[in-house]
Amino acid sequence: MHSASAGMTLLLAAGACFAQTAPERPAYEAASVKLNISGSGGTDTDGTRGQIMIRNMTLHRLVELAYSVSPAQVVGPDWMENVRFDVTAKYPPDANAADRWLMLRALLEERFKLAVHRESREVQGYALVVAKGGFKLKPVEAGENDTDHAGGRVQTLTAKSTSIASLAGLAARYLGAVVIDKTGIDGVYDFQLRWTSDGENTDNADAPPLFPVAIQETLGLRLQAQKVPAEVIVVDHAERIPTEN
């Protein structure tokens, strides 16, 4: 009897120790969420080290950011794509990017009572495949992966020691859609893509009008529209009006 009691005491102590050492979920130090009724269609994101300011953004887009997914990977009520909000938040200046998105996720759960679950579905997206004429690059020695994007009238993406799978991820970011790598190409590559962001005319003949065109002309790859498998964030519940700040 004494032995059983001692064992139970050890189990309870172990459980208490686990509860005490469980890591805390990252959270903003302070945050404000307000309804935006400006009627504007534009969205603006700005910030300084330790602070982020998001203006006129839909809850649908906020969920995309919080879970690092494309628009097609969020399923929820129609109003989530129409009602807009302003978010201002402060966080520790040394917080990494992954923790900052977890902070946004926690904020949405707190203020909008957001509840979601994940599903595997097929969504409209793109497959990155080899274009007619073949792949145009030669592999390089593996080194530190680095990508740099310069905006403006002509967009420029400079990539070093980058895999084609990573390129698919970059394409997903620019297109706002799921992109999967179906090239079967291994290794890493150095390349530079130049394109005009909206198909406008440009005096620079080296910059084709669209990102997908740049991929085909420079790399010998193309984006093929099709249904692709993806993890989808399904919104089970969200309040239309956020709780008080």
Q: pLDDT by residue (tens digit) across 69-83?
A: 888 899 999 999 999
Average pLDDT, the chain: 86
What mean pLDDT do residues 4-11 have?
48
Nearest alpha carbon to residue 233 among 196, 165, 178: 178
Listed in sequence order, the residues at least 6 apart from 67 whose beta carbon sits closer than 8 Å to its beta carbon are 73, 74, 101, 105, 116, 233
pLDDT digits (tens, 9 = 90+) for 47-70: 888 999 999 999 999 999 999 888
The pLDDT assigned to 199 comes to 53
168-176 CB contacts, 8 Å cutoff, 24+ apart:
168/128, 171/126, 171/128, 171/211, 171/215, 171/223, 172/70, 172/125, 174/211, 175/70, 175/126, 175/211, 175/212, 175/223, 176/70, 176/71
Counting residues of the chain whose pLDDT is more than 70, the rounded percentage is: 87
Query: Which of 38-42, 140-144, 223-227 has the weakest average pLDDT?
Result: 38-42
- Residues 158 and 138: their CA atoms lie apart, in Å, by 16
Query: What pLDDT is recorded for position 189?
Result: 96
Q: Is the pTM of this model over 0.85?
A: no
The 8-class DSSP code of residue 60 comes to H
Task: Give the whole-angstrom CA distance, residue 111 versus residue 100.
Answer: 16
Domain limits, the chain? 30-120+231-237, 135-219
Token pair in block for residue 184: 């079967």
Query: How confident is the model over 137-146, as a mean pLDDT?
Result: 91
For 121, the token pair is 């579905």
Q: How confident is residue 198, by pLDDT bands cut at 50, 70 and 90?
A: low
